[in-house]
Amino acid sequence: MTSQNLQLGVIGLGTMGANLARNAARNKAKVAVFNRTKEKVDAFMVAHGSEGEFVPFHTLKDFVKALKKPRPILLMVKAGDAVDIVMQELLPFLEKGDILLDGGNSHFRDTQRREKELAEKGIAFLGLGVSGGEEGALHGPSMMPGGDHHAYKKIEPLLKKMAANDGTGGKCVSYLGRGGAGHFVKMVHNGIEYGLMQLIAECYDLMKNIGHSSNEDFAKIFDEWNAAELQSFLIEITAQIFAKKDPETGDSLIDLVSDVAEQKGTGKWTTEAAMDLGVAIPTITAAVDARILSADPLQRKQLNTENPESLPEPYPEQKSIAELCRSALLLSWLATYGQGFGMLMAASKEYQWNLSFPEITRIWGGGCIIRSSLLTRFRDMFAAPDSEKESLKAQILDLARGERQVDWRRLIAIATGSGIPVPALSASLAYADAIRRKRLPQNLIQAQRDFFGAHTFQRIDKEGAFHVEWRN
């Protein structure tokens, strides 16, 4: 596909599908659109038909015929069975060489299966992770494709036009690997997103209930943080959220939002995949757990007490809660990125994807939800020559030393003593402490396992597996 002959078929005109279709059309592609509901196609054309070269269809047969071979077709339907159903409905009209792209949040194992099934029929398949929300989809997302490399090269000219700028002269799209590599990277991206959002929420809780900051204070605080080391998309939008007033009441809208948070699957999949790989991602797991706990407000109401048992503040007020939160959030943010990259490294080895970490961090530099100035430090480290990597890694670790680390510990002690849960902040600190320890207490666990189950254990002074009779 040359830049002069750009085309794309889009199936599924929900918010993301519609905006990606508009994005492609604005970049001079001919875009065929289809949706199961005829009314949605018609409404899309009324609202956006003048934005580019759109061709609407109400049958899949006509939709496919409108595209030139090899036909690139983007599926923007709900992950799971719906993808398989649409694929089966499309197959009678497809020909060898055609390209299907799944732009939803599909499980990477489903993507691997689908690529294999379609390859047997001569049809290429790409799992396309897309991050950036509805605005990113329209103006430039980060895109994480994996699957058939030959097919990617055919669709690459259009994807590069559609993707966000990476801030270094490139575009936020890059082929990541075969099979489910693209969707796996997107899944880990979403897991990191879960962690970062929970960390921000915990700091908000502490600043509100211990620091007694107002919503106006929060808007200013997050604006200030976004102008410094915590510069990021999530901090930026958080400042805007606290400044938003409800048009009906004039009150801060955030105070009227329910505290029940959904989790749609990718966070849970990330924790499951990490366990399969034997990788610890405690901040991300804590964030998933926090959403699950939030989902039962009736139980929380029944167990609520206005005056929970708590300790006196364990430290004198040397700094404001906001100052402590700033340090703790920065270091926890670094720990969360580290957990995500550790998981990606393990997956790359396990599934033989040969993931490029300079490329992953580069395409996360624009358009996506987890972009930040801290991520840029990881990008610089991964992209540096081997002779410079250790120095850049040391610079990242230096951020977690000194007064900031004291602030981190002080904040968690204050939160715990006050009965305010900070699962993600605590998990981040525990992770950082565990990976730096020369010796962990799991030697006792190994002894216990051998005691009751004869599971054997290893010794530090000699090779082999050992079992002893522990009873005297």
Check 30, 115, 193, 359 and give the catalytic one.
Answer: 193
Task: Strands of 359-464 (E only): list them.
Answer: 457-458
Check 30, 186, 236, 359 and give the catalytic one.
Answer: 186
- Pick from 447, 412, 446, 415: nearest CA to 429: 412
- H or E element: which one contains 337? helix 321-350
Question: Among this protein's residues, is 186 annotated catalytic?
Answer: yes
Residue 263 φ then ψ, to 5° = -135, 120
Distances (CA, A) of 359 to 59, 232, 348, 364: 39, 19, 14, 8
- H or E element: which one contains 52? none
> What does DSSP assign to residue 132?
S
Distances (CA, A) of 219 to 273, 323, 369: 36, 15, 19
- The two most distant CA atoms of the chain are separated, in Å, by 85
Let me know how long the chain is.
472
Q: Is the peptide bond before 70 cis (omega within 30 degrees of 0)?
A: yes
Question: Among this protein's residues, is 272 annotated catalytic?
Answer: no
CB 211 within 8 A of CB 320: yes
Distance (Å, rounded) from C-alpha 229 to C-alpha 334? 11
Helix (H, G, I), strand (E, B) or coil at 130: strand
Terminal C-alpha separation, the chain: 76
The answer for residues whose C-beta is within 8 angstroms of residue 350's C-beta and 6 or more apart is: 277
Helix (H, G, I), strand (E, B) or coil at 459: coil
CB 271 within 8 A of CB 191: yes
- Pick from 61, 71, 2: nearest CA to 31: 71
Distance (Å, rounded) from C-alpha 360 to C-alpha 372? 14
Radius of gyration of the CA atoms of the chain, in A: 25
Residues labelled catalytic: 186, 193
